[in-house]
Chain A
Amino acid sequence: MVLILALLLSACSAETDSEEDGDSSATEITLGFYSSGSADEKMKDLIAQFEKEHPDIKVKTQNAPYQQFFQKLDTQIAGGNEPDVWLSDGVFVLKYAERGAARDLTKWIEKDLNKDDYYGLDFNKGPDGKYWGVPQGIQIGALFYNKDMFDAAGVDYPDDTWTWEDLKEAGAKLTIDTSGKKAGESGFDANTVKQYGLTFFNITEGWMPVLKSYGGGVLGEDLRKSIIDSPENKEAVNYIVDGMERGIFTDPADLQAFQSPMSPFPSQTAAMRIGIYARALAANETGVNYDVTVLPKGPDGKRFSPVIANSWVISNNTSDKKAKAAWEWIKYWVSEDNVQKQWAELGEAVPVKKSVANSDLFLNSGDKPQNKQAFLDSFEFAGTLDVNAVWSEWVKQMGDNLNRAFLNEASVDEALETADKEVQKVQDEFYKK
């Protein structure tokens, strides 16, 4: 047994050695990405094209299912064995940056990329102004609405004049209980809703856009101080809780009754949803007759569209030579029109390169939604989800407390007060060092 083990070991280590020393002219980089189902093939295809155009660079890929990918990455970083370049969910970029795992890309970006040509470069900037990643594709929020349901209820389609109050008013006419009564009509039962006005799901596609357009939010500009306990947030949360109580918005308990919290819109149980670009995939799959428009305004006319810029990140741990090769890949990905177009065809994300995003290929691809321009217009008032190094931790605290308010287990005042303390504690624990 020991002998077999020893043999195995020597065989394996010999193999890796020769790989590293063997061919000095070609640089081999490891590229990690999380799987997105059928898009994996396209990714591999693009990597093959890249290798063909860059004969001096060899790319080894590493992929895993979304959730497991990040578990693995954390272990790899701890073990000093992470990929040279990887695809990070936009909300994790700063986590890697502030823990020293990501390489500062500011100089390269300034030298090689014309910033005006791209959407979303700034969404990965830390509070110190450094760039830690380059977007691979962008998710930006808009209002999805089911045309058939609007037609049936005789309500005008939403447009860019809508406020959140308008949305609720229209939503009431689109909310129907099992006996066919609409919200607001006498005898309407908010506990037996079979068609909701708006489906509402956690942070990005739920409370964050509302809070922000009401002038509130979670973290201050330095991204270290909680600003949760504010009158603006109170107003926004009251607005949401009221919508849920009247049965117009889905509350967290309603969502649990569905097979997937994402299903109310594609399954035509909700007339509207706040949705990022990729949500079009599921809606198209079920053949909903829908379109999109920009998200509604807050009471003072302020708008907010949530953005997640999923990005390429280079390891801080890798050699300069490999980092340079990894940068070639990133440059190739964002700047080559051909690459951008091929990826855009999958319909997963808004292209990073403005010229491609504004081309017919993206705007008039024939797939729904028709008004894809709304996603591009939303960049004007787009912002991140107050992402910082401890994003996952504070989102959990904030979400838990808001859910208590949504489910009437706590008053809005109490929920925000507790959330404020708990979120601030998360910040202090990390940034005090």
Chain B
Amino acid sequence: MQKNPNKKRKVLSYIIITISSLIMLTPFITAALNSLKSYVQYTAIPVEWIPDPVQWENYVEVWKMTDFAQYGWNSLVVTVLSVVGALFSCSLVGYAFARLEFRFKNSLFIMVLGTLMIPPVVMIIPQFIIFKNMGLLDTLVPLWILEWLAQPFGIFLMRQAFLAIPKEYEEAAKLDGCSPLQTYWRIFLPMCKPQLATLTIFTFMAKWNEIMAPVIYLSSQEKFTLPIGVLSMSGAWFGQEQYLVAAALMTLIPILIVFLFTEKFFVKGASSSGLK
């Protein structure tokens, strides 16, 4: 008797989930369909949803039109260096704020949080001048180096993660003769995999999709990252938007891969906060 209403509820929730995910997928599906159209079909009014004939060659064309592989490689260099930098620096700083005692700790932490409120646009020109004086314009360095200097969001995320770990672990480690750095590396870091995965995904997505900084720091075409490379294809006068959509979809693939690999931890990270 009791099973039935439960089952009904389950069916109902599945229906809701299916419908809402379909709604959320619509733009994505539209984009995928658009990428397979000819320009005539792309602009057709009323909208022709299903490409006919399916233009798979749009994707080949994109590879021919731009240096897609080169841009992809540049994006990968920037993104991987950024992710490694963010994981390393944010966890280290976050650990210090969570577990070590030093003077002005709280005021310093408030300052770090305060920088979150500065709109990035304000910092562009000063940063540009600094990098110019360092001779780093038109190199990939300005695009990833900042992540090695611990960004506030990551610090906050990691600090919260470390704070949640019971003090006993630390004391036990101390008794076994661990220095604070060893405790951080051997005990604490492995316990924070979900948050590290979260930080990985956020940094990866932000850097992979970033357009403003690459545009400002890069000048030579062979150093472009994917977002500028893709936009460069469109040109000033339009007429070939279907290639643009195809290229944009191709740049999504790495994000999907990273998400699939870190998803296990990511979901755990989101749910664990409720358990503690």
Contact = CB atoms under 8 A, between A and B. Distances in A.
Interface of A: 1, 5, 8-9, 12-13, 15-16, 30, 34-40, 60-69, 71-72, 75-76, 78-81, 194, 257-260, 262-264, 266-267, 269, 278-279, 281-282, 285-287, 348
Contact of A81 (B44, B46, B137): B137
Contacts, number: 128
A34 B45 contact: no
Interface stretch (B154-162, B172-180, B232-240, B259-267): B232-240
Contacts of A259: 34, 42-43, 47, 241
B22 interface: no
Nearest to A281: B239
The SS class assigned to the B binding surface is helix
B99 to A, nearest CB: 22
B220 interface: yes
A282 B237 contact: yes
A262 B241 CA distance: 11
Nearest to A310: B236
A279 B135 CA distance: 41
Contact of B132 (A71, A79, A285): A79
A267 B40 contact: yes
12 contacts: A8-B136, A12-B134, A36-B235, A61-B220, A63-B221, A65-B228, A68-B211, A79-B129, A194-B45, A278-B237, A282-B237, A282-B238
Interface residues of B, number: 42
Given A71-B215, A81-B132, 9 more contacts: A64-B215, A79-B132, A259-B34, A260-B43, A266-B43, A267-B44, A282-B39, A286-B40, A287-B40
The 9 A-B pairs with the shortest beta carbon distances in the complex, nearest first, are A37-B235, A65-B231, A267-B43, A13-B135, A282-B239, A263-B43, A36-B235, A12-B135, A62-B219
Given A263-B45, A281-B239, A1 B148 contact: yes
B234 A37 contact: yes
A285 B237 CA distance: 12
A68 B129 CA distance: 18
Contacts of B255: none
A267 B41 CA distance: 8
Contacts of A67: 231
Nearest to A278: B237
A38 B134 contact: no
B236 A36 contact: yes
B188 interface: no
The SS class assigned to the A binding surface is mixed
Contact of B216 (A40, A65, A71): A71
A262 B141 contact: no
Contacts of B233: 35, 37
Contacts of B238: 260, 262, 281-282
Contacts of A348: 237
Nearest to A5: B145
A104 B43 CA distance: 43
B151 interface: no
Interface in B202-254: 211-212, 215-216, 219-221, 228, 231-241
Given A8-B141, A63-B221, A263-B45, A39 B235 contact: yes
Contact of B45 (A71, A72, A269, A287): A269
Nearest to B128: A79
B139 interface: yes
Nearest to B46: A194
Q: Which of A65, A68, A279 gathers the greatest number of chain B CB atoms within 10 Å?
A: A65
B39 A62 contact: no
A224 B187 CA distance: 69
Given A64-B215, A68-B211, A285-B39, A16 B135 contact: yes
Contact of B125 (A38, A78, A257): A78
A34 B232 CA distance: 8
Contacts of B128: 75-76, 78-79, 81
